[in-house]
Chain A
Amino acid sequence: MRLELGNILINDVQFGDKTKVDNGTLYVNKEELVELISQDEKIKNVDVELARPGESVRITPVKDVIEPRVKVEGPGGIFPGVIAKVDTVGTGRTHVLKGAAVVTTGKVVGFQEGIVDMTGPGAEYTPFSKLNNVVLVCEPNDDLKQYEHEKALRMAGLKAAIYLGEAGKNVTPNEIKEYENLPLLKSVEKYPNLPKIAYVQMLQSQGLLHDTYVYGVDAKQTLSTLINPTEIMDGAIISGNCVSACDKNTTYHHLNNPIIHDLFEQHGKEINFVGMIITNENVYLADKERSSDWAAKLSEYLGVDGVVISQEGFGNPDTDLIMNCVKIEKKGIKTVIVTDEYAGRDGASQSLADADPLADAVVTGGNANEVIELPPMDKIIGYTEPVNSIAGGFDGSLKEDGSIVVELQAITGATNELGFNKLTAKGY
């Protein structure tokens, strides 16, 4: 399966009469976009705001971040099974508005989380401060239940990303990158002397506000399975995960999964990246056993020498992470796990809720309990009042001058468990 990603570099976003990309600037017809999102009768009111890198802007509570993409050649469309019809994606060419994003905000539930500061110390902890953001501020109908509200916001973000992505369809990309994975036997034949590596991605799948969708299927109803990494670049996996801002994988993270990119980068040089397995993180302990058994069986079947396992979330998934690690190690396959930590404010406490001596190669995305003070911003996009009820915040978090004292867990993407951030720890 071979996919070309044509990156159209976006360095500014502006409102304009027509939605288009011109000389690196994304122009957005606000009226048209508002009209599109307002078609959903569950949404009472929607506003669109822009936030650029370096501006004194705080966006909160952030639900999802989505990169605009459009399919230019090849079967299917972006977000198959959700926006586009079900069709296998991951081949041909896809254009990407690189440097732009859709950000959704909204009060799905009373307690909140997800801060993106576009400047200041907080901006250093979130990759989304570096993007030209088109922010949807959605107000749902008064009687909308949490399930429907989350879905309405999720769909609004995806629709907006498709709408903006279309603007890149006929634009010549600034750069084209190629990603190809061969059928297993051919890949092994091509690089017989390189260690064979697979990637096991764990998907959040516990319930309301904790879901992930694969080709539109709720991941908690799936068994572990194989997927081509290029399918994910076309939006085969989307986020319905609104909890734990620092270490949830937004749709943007899935589209740009850095583990996939890094494995491709080393493919044919240091390693032979032969495939990818997705598995879930259910609440039912029997499901955990079943899914991790399956991940281990598939790893063995692929005949790999090593796997990278990434986690999403905290607590319950720690058990899945260790089960996956231990069962795969017991097949004689080396593992590296990618996680983050809740190690207390001083970083001295036990980091995970589960552990095993076989989990001896660990990459961490940082300590989510670390405390940070975010200075006031000139402008707030979204809703300010939930800050006192934000995860990682506490009574008195929001000071009179507008500054906030919070744990890193409140910042979107701060300790991302795909490594899409700057925090880590090194042991020597």
Chain B
Amino acid sequence: MKTILITNNPLAQKKLSSKVETHFHDVDYTKVLKIARDYIHKGYRLLTHPLSGSVKPNETPYKSLIIQTREQTKIDMDSLLIIEQSLDTTKKFIDNMKTPQWNERIKEDFQTIDISLIESVLDRII
């Protein structure tokens, strides 16, 4: 089975790419979710929740999530439902208020939290 980390977090790429195949994209939070959705349509399933963390989608610029291939070729409807609901929620938040332009120190904090949220999972699945 193939496991992929999809992320826009440069710290995740730096720290986790030696542990798992990492696809870094220099895109916004919403786009990361859309990339993951496209993979789900190709037969992958979600391993981590797209809205991991209580930091809101219009608060943190960073998102990392883990997907995996499945033996069945059919679409995993649970994963699809979760990613679509997460995209709806993200749109709701960003329409309400745009993500602020954070300074470097704050960006680093968000990157660290983003990694923390998936690191414990990564250690268990690889």
- CB within 8 Å of B: which residues of A? 109-111, 146-147, 204, 206-210, 220, 241, 243-244, 248, 282-286, 288, 313-316, 318-319, 342, 344-345, 349-350, 353-354, 369, 389, 391, 394-395, 407, 409
Task: Please name the residue on chain A nearest to B121 by beta carbon.
Answer: A284
Interface positions of B from 77 to 121, Cβ below 8 Å from A: 82, 85-86, 88-89, 92-93, 95-97, 100-103, 105-106, 108-110, 112-113, 116-121
At the interface, yes or no: B10 with Cβ under 8 Å from chain A?
A: no
Interface size class of B (residues with CB under 8 A): 35 or more
At the interface, yes or no: B51 with Cβ under 8 Å from chain A?
A: yes
- Taking a contact as CB atoms under 8 Å apart, the answer to whether B51 and A315 are in contact is yes
- Taking a contact as CB atoms under 8 Å apart, the answer to whether A204 and B92 are in contact is no
Chain A interface, >50% SS class: loop
For the complex, give the distance between the alpha carbons of A407 and B10 in Å: 30
For the complex, give the distance between the alpha carbons of A24 and B3 in Å: 61
Complex contacts, B56 vs chain A, CB 8 Å: 314-315, 342, 391, 409
- Taking a contact as CB atoms under 8 Å apart, the answer to whether B47 and A342 are in contact is no
For the complex, give the distance between the alpha carbons of A147 and B109 in Å: 11
- CB within 8 Å of A: which residues of B? 46-49, 51-57, 59, 82, 85-86, 88-89, 92-93, 95-97, 100-103, 105-106, 108-110, 112-113, 116-121, 124-125
- Taking a contact as CB atoms under 8 Å apart, the answer to whether A283 and B106 are in contact is no
- Taking a contact as CB atoms under 8 Å apart, the answer to whether A244 and B54 are in contact is yes
- Taking a contact as CB atoms under 8 Å apart, the answer to whether A391 and B59 are in contact is yes
For the complex, give the distance between the alpha carbons of A318 and B57 in Å: 14
- Taking a contact as CB atoms under 8 Å apart, the answer to whether A207 and B48 are in contact is no
Given contacts A208-B116, A319-B82, A389-B106, contact A243 B54 (CB under 8 A): yes
Complex contacts, A284 vs chain B, CB 8 Å: 47-48, 120-121, 124-125
- Taking a contact as CB atoms under 8 Å apart, the answer to whether A316 and B53 are in contact is yes
Other than A206-B53, A285-B47, A319-B82, give 7 A-B pairs with Cβ distance below 8 A. Answer: A207-B119, A283-B53, A284-B48, A285-B82, A286-B47, A316-B52, A389-B100
Given contacts A319-B49, A389-B100, contact A111 B54 (CB under 8 A): no
Complex contacts, A350 vs chain B, CB 8 Å: 88-89, 92
- Taking a contact as CB atoms under 8 Å apart, the answer to whether B113 and A109 are in contact is yes
* A-B residue pairs, 4 tightest by C-beta: A315-B51, A208-B116, A110-B106, A244-B54
Distance (whole angstroms) from the CB of A352 to the closest CB of chain B: 8
Complex contacts, B95 vs chain A, CB 8 Å: 344
Task: Please name the residue on chain A nearest to B49 by beta carbon.
Answer: A316
Complex contacts, A389 vs chain B, CB 8 Å: 100, 102, 106
- Taking a contact as CB atoms under 8 Å apart, the answer to whether B117 and A285 are in contact is no
Task: Please name the residue on chain A nearest to B79 by beta carbon.
Answer: A285
* 27 examples of A-B residue contacts, CB within 8 angstroms: A109-B106, A110-B105, A110-B108, A111-B55, A111-B102, A146-B113, A204-B54, A206-B117, A207-B120, A220-B120, A244-B55, A282-B121, A283-B49, A284-B48, A285-B82, A288-B49, A315-B49, A315-B51, A316-B49, A316-B52, A345-B96, A350-B88, A353-B88, A369-B96, A389-B102, A391-B55, A409-B56
